[in-house]
Structure 1
Amino acid sequence: MSALILKVDSVRLAFEDRKILQDVHITCRQGEVIGLLGRNGCGKSSLLRIIYGTLNASYKYVSIDDLFIHKGYHKNRIAYLPQHSYLPDSLKIKNLAKMLVDENFWDEFIDLTIYKVNCHKTTGQLSGGELRQLEMLMIIHSKADFILLDEPFTHISPIQADEFKPVIRACAKRKGIIITDHQYYNILEVSDKVILLKDGVTKHITNNDELVTYGYLSGK
């Protein structure tokens, strides 16, 4: 069976007279990790929310295998990890996992050490780093064909980040992933392709030196 393809094109977004997004094009295949980089406030999170369907754009074209997708979350086609915690703090992790994790990946999920250690706790009993890891793991083990990760490395330690990267790569064998984080070095390490969002326009990076050329990284 051929890999599904998520296409995002012609996204336009403006707040009052300020243009945030104006010429956006991203293609993500199942089996691929797309890294999305850009300065704070450039519209990365807004773009992910538009793809997911929780933010309205002036115009957008989002499709999976050329079938237009109005709301990415409809029928669990696309899953989204926001920057903020999305889990209620009164429920046990094991109960939340049963609601969010795809049964096809259940055995794989419950074999993860962080789940084994914390499954009987509630979200309110976890540290910020533990909660962030479990939120990420539930999202990438969900039924969705495509995963959007917004600042997944925030609030976790470098050691935890290094442990999580192979999980992202393993997940990408069966899903398409678009990931953004201000810790650009983590994005460069885990991604197959990198896209820079600058002045509302997507720049498809073929060489990391272009990140210096476009002014995202210092050349020093």
Structure 2
Amino acid sequence: MHTLKVDSVQLAFNDRKILQDVYLHCNQGEVIGLLGRNGSGKSSLLKIIFGTLTPSYKYVGIDDEFIHYGYLNNRIAYLSQDSYLPRGIKISDLAAMLIDQLYWDDFANLDIYKNHHHKKPEQLSGGELRQLEMLMILCSKADFILLDEPFTHVTPVETQYFKTIIKSISKTKGIIITDHQYYNVLDISDRVILLTDGCTKHLKNVDDLVTYNYLSGIK
């Protein structure tokens, strides 16, 4: 099993420090929940790990080997808040390039794929595209998966379904997930990290979310 480590990330915009004391690690076989208020830098941190945002300093490594760009060699896959599938190419052709053969049979039997494999991304609704892109990321060849707001445009019933898929995929992959629906993140995470004031707080239990003022109280 591989281990992803992120340390000493420093990021500032217009002299405003966004990230300054960040440490986290994620092993294959676990789901890490990343929580934080809007503007705390969660998406920026995921982009830094993936390699599409360059901070003033970072350490990102897999098994203590420094990784400049996580997207190279299928080491890390990233579901951003924006659609990533290129327009004009059939879903079936895109899936053939992205999906790990280990997961191909299961993926090809999913209704969302069977119903839309002959279409192009621009022919799908926002919800359909979000579902398909999330499944393609989860079933990709990457060892580590970063999920940024995966439950956006997804119904409660579909959310429950995807939570089951995420937990199943995490048996072989390391997953870092952030979503404003914190209760769904808590439900599937093995460990939870709070990003606040540019720093990561490794939570011992859910009550720490109140201690660090992320929640005013837990129902």
C-alpha distance in 2 between matches for 1:110 and 1:200: 41
SS at the partner of 2:177? strand
Question: How far did 1:190 drift?
Answer: 1.2
Q: In the TM superposition, what is the alpha-carbon distance from 1:91 to its structure 2 partner?
A: 2.1
Aligned ranges 1:142-157 → 2 under 5 Å: 142-157=140-155
Offset at residue 122 of structure 1 (A): 1.9
Moved over 4 A (4+): none
CA distance in structure 1 between the partners assigned to 2:87 and 2:75 by the alignment: 26
Residue in 2 aligned with 1:109?
107
TM-score using structure 1 length? 0.96
Q: Indicate the residue corresponding to 1:124 in structure 2.
A: 122
Number of aligned pairs?
A: 218
Moved more, 12-21 or 105-114: 105-114
Aligned-partner Cα distance in 2 for 1:109–1:178: 21
Aligned position for 1:161: 159
Distance 1:68 1:9 in 2: 11
The alpha-carbon deviation at position 145 of structure 1 amounts to 0.5
**TM-score normalised over the length of structure 2:** 0.97
The answer to whether the 8 Å contact 1:128/1:156 transfers is: no
User: For residue 72 of structure 1, what is the amino acid of its counterpart?
Assistant: G
Query: What is the percent sequence identity of the aligned residues?
Result: 68
Cross-structure match for 2:188: 190
Equivalent in the alignment of 1:73? 71
For the residue of structure 2 that corresponds to 1:10, the secondary structure is strand
Per the alignment, residue 58 of structure 1 pairs with 56
Equivalent residue of 1:196, what SS? strand
2:89 to 77, 88, 91: 91
Give the RMSD, CA atoms, in angstroms.
1.0
C-alpha separation in 2, matches of 1:169 and 1:85? 23
Question: Could you give the per-residue CA deviations for residues 93-127 of structure 1, whole angstroms, max 9, x where no partner exists?
Answer: 11111111112221121121211122122212212
SS at match of 2:40: coil
Q: What are structure 1's unaligned runs of at least 5 residues?
A: none
In structure 2, distance between residues paired with 1:68 and 1:89: 33
Question: Unaligned regions of 5+ residues in structure 2, if any?
Answer: none
Once the two structures are TM-superposed, the CA of residue 9 in structure 1 deviates from its matched residue by 0.6
- Deviation, 1:90, is 2.3
Distance 1:93 1:190 in 2: 29
